[in-house]
Amino acid sequence: MKDLLTVTPARKSTHLDQYNNSWYQPGPGWKILLWIVTNAVFFNNSLAVFNSLKCWLLQKFGAKIGKGVVIKTSVNIKYPWFLEIGDQVWIGENVWIDNLTYVIVRNHVCISQGALLLTGNHNYKKPTFDLIVKGILLEDGVWIGARATVCPGVRCNSHAVLTVGAVATSDLEAYGIYSGSPAKKIKERVID
Amino acid sequence: MKDLLTVTPARKSTHLDQYNNSWYQPGPGWKILLWIVTNAVFFNNSLAVFNSLKCWLLQKFGAKIGKGVVIKTSVNIKYPWFLEIGDQVWIGENVWIDNLTYVIVRNHVCISQGALLLTGNHNYKKPTFDLIVKGILLEDGVWIGARATVCPGVRCNSHAVLTVGAVATSDLEAYGIYSGSPAKKIKERVID
Amino acid sequence: MKDLLTVTPARKSTHLDQYNNSWYQPGPGWKILLWIVTNAVFFNNSLAVFNSLKCWLLQKFGAKIGKGVVIKTSVNIKYPWFLEIGDQVWIGENVWIDNLTYVIVRNHVCISQGALLLTGNHNYKKPTFDLIVKGILLEDGVWIGARATVCPGVRCNSHAVLTVGAVATSDLEAYGIYSGSPAKKIKERVID
């Protein structure tokens, strides 16, 4: 009898036409458009080799940039006014900082080639698939490995290491070394 | 005695010079060439911001494109005449639709930034490394996460979610949430 | 009492300002600059379709290139003078050969679209974050799958397969098929 009485509720659907991200206002249209062109010409291509110019442009667009910052070619940055970078930070080739909100990078941090920092997400439990934005914090001495991904809201604590291709979905402990997708701690980082 | 009698058979090698994909004819040369240029100029670069133009061009090249389709910048599409997209579909920045054959996307689907849809494979059991092409189907409400990969022949059923960086090597169940490489189901998607 | 007596030693920090890679001299500045431009114009963009020209240019810059080599569009190569490619080798779209030192590819090898070959690393145990460079060897018949990554110092032995999105952090056995991040052997490759 139980089987006959069990009712499977109809499952709900997403309706992307009802998506409403009007609350999210990252900046005036002219500024975004100007940055899209600047990003394309001076950052996100393989001839974009002028490091001082890149640091200067980021500052003009509202980023905080420390001393000794190195930005390689083909770097893609969403909105520089949501970017804070400390001293002695390296940003490798093809790094993608998709910062819909703040990405804060402290000192002596290395973000290796092809790494991706994500700040946007969607609420998959809502039919309206609501936008969720959460910042990222990379503390002193952190190393984000080549082609690794840091998910929205993740804080990588002091000197944490995310290895090649790993995907950090939650906070990384200080001096922890993380591997895999989703990333798990595999060992302790000991600096001589 | 057994060890002496055991014979290890000589292992065979691949011969890519004997590769023969002449049976695969995706379209006339002039059309492919014209698309390569169109794709480079109007799609696959960071200044390709004109959404309506992109939808129109895809249709002119034989794609079926529904209403409310949003295509971000730096999207790479192999052959538009093998592409069907429903209503209210979002295709994120740097998405790569490598469609050697049909990729069919239903309604209210989100393909997030950096995702890759693969349709080509090789038979690694043959010395001739034969080409294998298999389409992809993304049903209503599916979400392919940022930098996730969908392998050839995979059907993502209604409202399935492939999380950030995951690699779908086999079909995804309806309302299943999948993670990792290869992707495994981690939980059920419940929509309020 | 024990807890009171336990002393946590102060953990050391990295100092990227003390990084010293002056021992690493990949070539004269004019040659590197000339290659950066050549790579941007003739290789690393979606209109770079001229295969014979690409092979010829690589040879002029010091690469060894065999017969029947196919190089697709948007391929990114660091330093061609550290590149040796045998006969009947395919290099797919968006492949990134980040060869700070030698990458040696034997015959009948397929490097699929979006794959990444890494040769640079850092010593995360040193406050000075020292550069480490190690070459890569892909033996006959190897297949590096789409968007897979090969880490520095890895030797992929004869006919090994690294599947889609996998990350090879150590040597691959001959005729082994590897999957996941980090890649693990899942089965044997049997060629009919």
Instruction: Out of B16, B76, B124, name the one closest to residue C161 (CB).
Output: B124
Q: Do B116 and C147 touch (CB under 8 A)?
A: yes
Phi, psi of B60 (to 5 degrees): -60, -30
Please indicate, yes or no, whether the overall pTM of this predicted structure exceeds 0.90: yes
The mean pLDDT of B79-104, rounded to a whole number, is 98
User: Each residue of C128-140: pLDDT tens digit?
Assistant: 999 999 999 999 9
What is the set of domains in chain B, with CATH numbers? 50-184 (2.160.10.10)
Give Cα separations from A7 to A4, A13, B173 (angstroms): 8, 18, 20
Closest chain A C-alpha to B36 CA, distance in angstroms: 19
C40 vs A contacts (CB less than 8 Å): 45-47
User: Each residue of C141-172: pLDDT tens digit?
Assistant: 999 999 999 999 999 999 999 999 999 999 99
The distance in angstroms from the start CA to the end CA of chain C is: 69
User: Each residue of A60-104: pLDDT tens digit?
Assistant: 999 999 999 999 999 999 999 999 999 999 999 999 999 999 999
Q: How confident is the model at residue A10 (pLDDT cuts 50, 70, 90)?
A: confident
The mean pLDDT of A26-40, rounded to a whole number, is 98
3-state secondary structure of B21: coil
Instruction: Out of A47, A73, A146, name the one closest to residue C118 (CB).
Output: A146
* Residue C82 contacts B where some CB pair is shorter than 8 Å: no
Biggest alpha carbon distance in chain A? Answer: 75
* pLDDT at res. A173: 98
Q: Do C88 and B125 touch (CB under 8 A)?
A: no
DSSP B99-126: -SS-EEE-SS-EE-TT-EEE-EEE-TTS
B116 vs A contacts (CB less than 8 Å): none
